[in-house]
Amino acid sequence: CSETEMLRSKGYILRNTIGQGTYSKVKRACSIAMKRDIAIKIISRDDAPEVFRKKFLPREVEVLSILEHPSIVKVFEIFETKNPARLYIVTEYFHNGDLLDHVKSKGSMDEMVARPVIADVCRAGSYLHHNNISHRDIKCENILLHVVPGCKGAAYQAKLCDFGFARRFPTRTSGQGWLSNTFCGSAAYASPEILERKLHNPMSADVWATGVVVFITVFGAMPFDDTDIRTMVKMQKRGDVTHHRSNKVSVIASELIGSILRPHPRHRPTMQGILRHRW
């Protein structure tokens, strides 16, 4: 039977495509049992390279199978088919799009609106790190927004999604933490140690990426120009983001961003540290 018929037999009515990757796509669908819209990520094993099938995909499934947090997109079901070889991940669907969509269409967020959004992201990150998991692809596109009903003015709940690069690390046995030499995610959100291909703590890299998210959310612009990676790394190490200063952004917000975007990983706060900041 066709994919549409197969999914209907499982209780899902396919709608439109809402995302497209190299070897995956995300479709909106309706769950007959739950009577609500859901999202289905469809991954083609046949089209994916071996390193993805044997390394990244098993990690994503492992991580998704254990996650349960209000600031992380809920997974309802994971199943696969053999012919064609496809993996299906059924999750919550958000009508309000992602944080990047919001910034592109409406510009920077007012800080009163941005605070709970960033807090949700940090709570998700803290939960992951507490469970020895690094997301490794925190970016505005992977932060989905849900309008909080009954609030005067704009108010959003944020949920972290897309765990395609996530990895669960062994339980930490020393103060050194975990080290990785894998380049994951987007260069625009990558920390200097990743861009320089150094062994790095992926948890600290998640924190750096969160700092970039904070910057984009309140300034409506990227902190660094990623068209030239060498120049970008130099700017990162100098902390050269001053040309984006705005009278609309508070000193406290700028202080928080500066404390996160520190060149040396050990000088950055943890996710909990960001949550405790006075901003």
Which of 92, 124, 158 terminates a domain? The answer is 92
* d(C-alpha 253, C-alpha 214), whole Å: 9
Which of 46, 101, 120, 137 does the annotation list as catalytic? 137
Which of 62, 92, 122 terminates a domain? The answer is 92
| Partners of 90 in beta bridges | 40, 77
Please state the φ and ψ torsions of residue 164, each to the nearest 5 degrees.
-65, -25
User: What is the identity of the amino acid at 175?
Assistant: G
* d(C-alpha 279, C-alpha 272), whole Å: 13
The answer to whether 240 is a known catalytic residue is no
106 is in an annotated binding site: no
Same domain, 231 and 133: yes
CATH number at residue 240: 1.10.510.10
Same domain, 114 and 205: yes
- Domain range for 170 is 99-276
* d(C-alpha 152, C-alpha 231), whole Å: 44
* d(C-alpha 88, C-alpha 8), whole Å: 13
Selection from 53, 86, 209 nearest residue 141 by Cα: 209
Selection from 244, 221, 224, 245 nearest residue 234 by Cα: 224
pTM, two decimals, is 0.92
Residue located via tokens 């998210």:
213
pLDDT in 10s for each residue of the chain, 279 residues = 799 999 999 999 999 999 888 889 999 999 999 999 999 999 998 888 888 888 889 999 999 999 999 999 999 999 999 988 999 999 999 988 999 999 999 999 999 999 999 999 999 999 999 999 999 999 999 999 998 877 777 899 999 999 999 999 877 544 446 777 778 889 999 999 999 988 889 999 999 999 999 999 999 999 998 888 898 999 898 877 755 566 689 999 999 999 999 999 999 999 999 999 999
